Structure formats: C-alpha cells, structure tokens
Structure 1
Amino acid sequence: MNGTRRPVGLVSVVIPARNAETTLPAQLEALCAQTYPDPWEVIVVENGSSDGTRALLRRWEGRMPRLRVTVTDAPGVNHARNLGCRRAGGEFVLLCDADDVAAPGWVTGLVDALRTDPAVGGALERRLLNGTVALAARPPKKSAALLDTFGFLPYPAGANCGFHKELWHQLGGFDESYQGGGDDTEFFWRAQLAGYRLAFAPHAVMHYRHRGDTRTIARQSYGYGRSHPRLYRDFAAHGMPPARPGDAARAWWALLLHSPDLLGPTDRRAALLAQLALRTGRVVGSARHRRCYL
C-alpha cells in the first residue's frame, strides 16, 4: 500500500459544518477555484447549527453541482467526519473545515501525496485570516512539517488532511467520544500504530482561521488541554512520553508572572488566557481520566 504510485478515481472532500454561515461561503468559493482536473465531490455535513447554515447550503446546492449536503442533529466533529466518510464515493477522502480557505492547489497537493501514501497532511498558513489577537493567542508555527506537539508521533490537523477510504474502514473510523480536542490526533496515531505511513504534502496549503475573541480562544484552549491526559491514557503504552513536571511548573510560574496582562491590551490578555485555559484543561482532564498529564 506504501510507495507505489496509483491511479485515482473519484476524490471526496468532507467538511463538517456547524454554525458556519459567515465563513463557509469563502471555503466553498475556494473549492470552486481548485485546479484539480479530475472528478471529485464535496460533502458538507451540517450537524446541529442554530444559524442559517442549512439555508445557505440549500442555496449552494444549486450553484455547485458536485456539492452533496448531509444534515444531522448529532453533535461532534468526529461524528460529522464519519458520516461524511460513509457517504463519500471516492477512494481518497480529504478533510477540511468550514471556517478555513483552501489554496487553489490544495486538492491536487493532497491527491498527489495520496497516490503513494495512505494518509497525508498538508501545510497550514496561519496569517491571512487572523488578526493580532488570534495570532498572539496561537503564534504561527512552521508550516513545512506535520504537527508534533507531544514528542511522540506526528499528525496533521483535521483541517487539512487526507487518507484512503480503505484506511478509514480498517480503523473503524474516527473515535466519536473524542470531543473538543485530540479528535484528529487520535485517528492518525492509530493509523501509524497500525502500520500505515503518514506523509506531508507541502503544496496542499490551507489558510487556517483561529478563534478571534478571548472567550472562544479560551474555550478552545481548555478543550485542547482537557484532551491531552486522555491521549496520554490511550497511548502511553504505545510510547507517548509523560508530561515533564518541570515544564508544568515553569508554565504556571510564567502565568503568575504575566498575570498583570489580564488588565492589559487585548492581545496580551488573549495570549495569557489561552495558556491559562490550556493548563487548567490539563488539570481537569488529568482528574477525569485518572492519568496525570500536566
């Protein structure tokens, strides 16, 4: 399955969409501008929106012939991903989010990588769609590699990745009990532990949108932090290293030293709250999953 360049039939792009009325049009416009020349489809899974996302999708079905819409009231990004994968007619499945914007060569970049590897991740460009507050809370990382937050196995963001549908079948899909963080990491770690190679596709660029206000930044960071002890619980036996106590101590000390930023400019406040929420989430997650990962 690895290393042999293979022909491609239909390609499926799956987009989970919840309360995406304001951002989804830009992503759909970007997909309409893709340079990929062969057959492909777009499957948007709308799950539980309270805004006008469903009405928006009905209008787009008439504008975008290859668009297919699935509606469900069940929450969770992994539920939406699994539902989209089940409906996907393609042998290659690409995932992106409803609030980002794909560069014109995004589909081509992922498909080219999937011709030789069963799972791939693309590059995240973090500046185009984000202001100073968002970038202060989540400073841009290098985009020329897969993510490697935990010193274990690399992984792509669910906002820019692809895989053979057969791989998804073999793994039993995404774990729908992961919510708020770790949902994409867990899937691609299982894939690698099962013997599937994961590649990086540098030409598959996704313009990535961060949360833009302090409240949603803190909520997202808390969810990420809460998921980390669960990942450790599930993958420590496979080699995921423990969190180093010294790192946690230094992080909490830095938060204390920078506590005056809570009364400072919005960008500094957002950066402090993001780290505070992440560390608090790790404490709560450690208690919940009975694995210390601070």
Structure 2
Amino acid sequence: MNGSAPRVGLVSVVMPARNAEPTLAAQLEALRRQTYPDQWELVVVENGSSDGTPALLRSWQRRMPQLRVVDVAGACGVNGARNIGCRCARGEFVLCCDADDVVAPGWMAALVDALRTSPAVGGALERRLLNTRVALAARPPKEADALLDTFGFLPYPAGANCGFHKELWARLGGFDESYRYGGDDVEFFWRAQLAGYRLAFSPDAVVHYRLRGDAPAIARQLYRYGRSHPKLYRDFAGHGMPASRPGDAARAWCRMLAHLPDLAGRADGRAAWLAQLSLRAGRMAGSVGHRRWYL
C-alpha cells in the first residue's frame, strides 16, 4: 500500500455465512491476520444456518473485536445477505468475501489501495491450495491476471473477492436479490459499468478459493450457475450481451457423448464430465424458465 496516500475511514468486510462450520474458522483466522494497518470491521451475516455456525461465531466474537454478527431469521440468498451486510456496514469502503475461502494476508490492504482510485475492484482467485484433483478437474484453474470475462460482454469480479464504495452500492440500489445463486455478482458489476462506474483489478488481492469437492455438490453448483445464464441474457441482451452460439452448445454435447466412457474411469474424469452436463442442463432449464434461449 502506498504509505503517502491519505488514510481511509473505517473499512467494512461483509461475509455471508450459511452452514459454514467446517470452513469458517480458517477464514476468520485469515481475516484476523490481515496486514491492513487501519481500522476495519467484519460484518458476518448469519444466513439461517442449521449447523454450529452461530455458536462458532459467538466464540470468535470474544477474541476478534472487529467481528459483528447479524442474524437473519431464515435463508435469504447470497445477494439478500450481502445487502443486509452492506446496510449494516459502517465503512465507506465495503469488501466482500465468502466463509468457505481463505484470504491471503495482504488481501484487504490491496483492495483498499485500489479503491482509493476506483469505485469498484476485484482481486485474484487462486484455486489450487484448497482443492483436490477432482474439484480442479470439474472447474480447471484459470490465469488470475484479470477480472473474469465468461460471457464475452463486460468483465466482473467474483463476489468472493471484490470491493466497492458503499456510495456506489447505494446508488445502484444494492444487489439484485432475484439472483439467489449464480449471476449474483455478475449482475451487480455489469450494472455498475453500464451506469458509468469503472472497475479495477488488483492482482495482489488474493483469495484462496474453495471449490465443491464431491460429485453431488459439483452437479448442484454447476446446474444452478447454468440456470442463471439465461436470466443474465434476458436482463442484458438489450445492453449488448451476445447470445450464446448454437454451435458451441452442439460441440459441448458432442464432446460429452464422446467422453461417456469417462464415467467408468477415474474420479477426476467423471467430475469433469458431470460438471459439463450439469452446466448445460442448467442452461436448458433456465432458458425455459426465463423464456430466453441461452444454451
């Protein structure tokens, strides 16, 4: 961080947590070890957990004075939880992370430094540290040298590693809570850019990103992601989001047919095949549900 830059006021970290007991302590410890030297708070939105997440958070409040817990009566979706956290946040800058990842020591300092000159920023996702070979086969690592650009339209940060001025969040009316799973971060940052806000990328703001590790969880996640893509197309086609190309979908289905023998092979091959099937099936279901074809 540039030592000559003026100090920022309070920084707020917003983190939804739902049934996060197995991974939450590692993330809290990583946040506690941040190198950022100035004042910050952590707002954890306890999003209707049925495991030991609430008790774990209470125990951490005794040793982490920056931690504030906001209880939600029932699950409200990731964007609902983010909006609750942002409303409760007292900082002028808001950083977002997830309860199942691990932020690197300089994560907060790097995002804050970028937010001095940009209204919104995303960091790098590192996928190897926390994940098995099977998980990586389902979602192969990408170069963490730029914002994500999955749809050939506008770049965007992942909700697991981003920051923005709270004023920007307020002017946009918050996150769209109709995006409950998949597309939730994409929609917000596309809307920000279309409203004239510039996004930055901070390669030093690293989050060690945890993928789903077993076949049923991989399938559920990729199916939900796929269902959200036609919804994004419905909402942003008028702004220039390109349609999906039928040839790409046809080639994807042909590859899956050609690789059917992978289902009888190694676990990583099965995971990669299942991930593709789930994504494409989700897109088909989303196309029907949202009445916009995006295959």
Q: TM-score, normalised by structure 2?
A: 0.97
CA drift at 1:130 = 0.4
- 1:22 and 2:22 matched: yes
Match of 1:291 in 2: 292
Matches within 5 A, 1:103-122: 103-122=104-123
- 1:185 and 2:189 matched: no
Q: 1:6 to 1:243 in 2, by over 3 A?
A: farther
Matches within 5 A, 1:185-264: 185-264=186-265
Give the RMSD, CA atoms, in angstroms.
0.8
Amino acid at match of 2:269: R
- Structure 1 residue runs of 4 or more that deviate by more than 6 Å after TM superposition: none
Q: 1:278 to 1:6 in 2, by over 3 A?
A: farther
Match of 1:86 in 2: 87
Mapped contact 1:228–1:293 kept (Cα < 8 A)? yes
The Cα offsets for residues 136-195 of structure 1, whole Å up to 9 and x where unpaired, read as 000000101000000000000000000000000000000111022000000000000000
Separation in 2, partners of 1:6, 1:280: 50
Once structures 1 and 2 are overlaid, which stretch shifts more, 84-93 or 262-271? 262-271
Mapped contact 1:217–1:274 kept (Cα < 8 A)? yes
Separation in 1, partners of 2:21, 2:186: 27
Match of 1:41 in 2: 41
- The percent identity for this pair of structures is 76
Separation in 1, partners of 2:46, 2:168: 24
Match of 1:8 in 2: 8
Match of 2:150 in 1: 149
Separation in 1, partners of 2:266, 2:115: 45
Mapped contact 1:6–1:116 kept (Cα < 8 A)? no
CA drift at 1:75 = 2.5
Separation in 2, partners of 1:84, 1:14: 6
- 1:158 and 2:159 matched: yes
- 1:282 and 2:280 matched: no
The Cα offsets for residues 221-270 of structure 1, whole Å up to 9 and x where unpaired, read as 00000000000000000000000111000000001111121222111111
Amino acid at match of 1:168: W
Q: TM-score, normalised by structure 1?
A: 0.97
Mapped contact 1:7–1:115 kept (Cα < 8 A)? no
Separation in 2, partners of 1:6, 1:292: 49
The Cα offsets for residues 25-73 of structure 1, whole Å up to 9 and x where unpaired, read as 0000001110000000001001111110000001001010010001102
**SS of structure 2 residue aligned to 1:22:** helix
Separation in 2, partners of 1:212, 1:6: 43
**SS of structure 2 residue aligned to 1:69:** strand
